[in-house]
Homo-oligomer: A and B are copies of this chain.
Amino acid sequence: MVMPKPDLAPGVPLSAVDSPALLVDLTAFERNIATMMDFVRAQGIRLRAHGKSHKCGAIARFQQAAGAVGLCCQKVSEAEAFVAAGIGDVLVTNEVIDPVKLRRLARLSGRARIGICIDSALGLERLAEAAHEAEAPIDVYVEIDVGAARCGVLTTSDALSLIDRIGKAGTKLRYAGIQAYQGQAQHLRQPAQRRAAIDVAVRRVIDLRAAMAQRGLPIGIVTGAGTGTFYLETGSGVYDEIQPGSYIFMDRDYRDNEAAPDTPRFEHSLTLLTTVMSAQPAHVVVDAGHKAHAVDSGMPAIFGCPDLVYGNPSDEHGVIRRNGDGPLPRLGERLRLIPGHCDPTVNLHDWLIVHRGDEVVDIWPVEARGALT
């Protein structure tokens, strides 16, 4: 169930926040937003920020106001939350196969511009059926596999065949473009590895564009990219829109990517406040484990404490050890963890505590937390 909103008046210090709690450093967050907007404006490319990273209406509105053309999400229930939060343009970045969900999506079309991806004839057929209930046409993007070996059609001929079918699927569907996201490339550590992966993706897009041009088909929007590679898709000349999500927060896993020269840098704005609740001679135990942060991409770092290491997580505990000569934190002392992976970490929390320096300035609800369907 939803946890009660923390009872924190604006202006109270972080010491008044109960732990564990997920904090957003508003100054770092605003700089991250500005850095990305400056970049996309200079490059003349559209930003469609991915909402799966934050699931938060306040952040989505912030991104929209800063100049994002819209939001992405992965689930229909996330789209519902973002439309309810006032976002005017929402794209579901994968196929949805369940007819009930597709009808829910169609019902959103009267309230916002709605887009969705398909990668199968059955997906299109079910979408077209559901779209009978749509008040406005739905944007349809064909997802192509650009090397991640997850979703997406594999061949140019299959993509052409699907695009052809969209045109015949009725007036409630409108071919909008190509979804070309290489998820596996985002966390390749070396810039050269990421470049090689995105080179493959770009070639796939170029092949499809050429085949479409030959048939006289409009290409529409080519969209994709994440926080690890967006500077590559942007520079490719074939992408119109990028879909990064994590740039607003920067988790430990993205920090571990070696940065490419002359690319935008982002700051850690998301941290998990935690308290030492047991102290031992050679380690201490904090009150944040699997239920407070996600370790699927490795352990969190400890903000401002390079000499401390977090490990041995269990449901509600984590062990902090020394990684140098400095002292261990004391019983009752509080630390801030930089989550290993921001997206599933945010999904564990109902509220984001927004602060400037040591001062709490706002509390944002995570409206789409738990939005799985």
Contact = CB atoms under 8 A, between A and B. Distances in A.
A292 B77 CA distance: 14
A44 B315 CA distance: 29
B290 A96 contact: no
Contacts of A167: none
Given A277-B97, A278-B94, A315 B344 contact: yes
Interface residues of A, number: 72
A112 to B, nearest CB: 19
A313 B290 contact: no
Given A97-B331, A373-B18, A366 B1 contact: yes
A101 to B, nearest CB: 7
A317 interface: yes
B283 A149 contact: yes
Contact of A19 (B98, B123, B349): B98
This chain's copy number in the assembly: 2
A295 B292 contact: no
A88 B100 CA distance: 42
Interface string A117-146: 001101100000000000000000000010
Given A151-B317, A314-B150, A343-B315, A122 B332 contact: yes
Given A331-B120, A371-B3, A347 B291 contact: yes
Contacts of A285: 150-151
Contacts of A2: 1-2, 370
Interface string A78-114: 0001000000000000111110110000000000000
A369 interface: yes
Contacts of A149: 280, 283, 319
A373 to B, nearest CB: 5
Given A120-B279, A278-B94, A317-B150, A370 B344 contact: no
A350 interface: yes
A366 B152 CA distance: 35
B371 A315 contact: no
B341 A370 contact: no
A348 interface: yes
Interface in A1-56: 1-3, 18-21, 52
Given A19-B98, A95-B277, A150-B278, 4 more contacts: A3-B373, A21-B372, A151-B317, A369-B370
Closest 7 CB pairs between A and B?
A: A151-B278, A2-B2, A290-B344, A74-B316, A18-B373, A97-B277, A291-B347
24 contacts: A1-B81, A1-B366, A1-B370, A18-B100, A75-B316, A95-B277, A122-B331, A150-B314, A150-B317, A151-B285, A151-B317, A154-B280, A154-B281, A183-B314, A290-B294, A290-B347, A291-B372, A296-B296, A296-B313, A316-B372, A347-B348, A348-B348, A348-B370, A348-B372
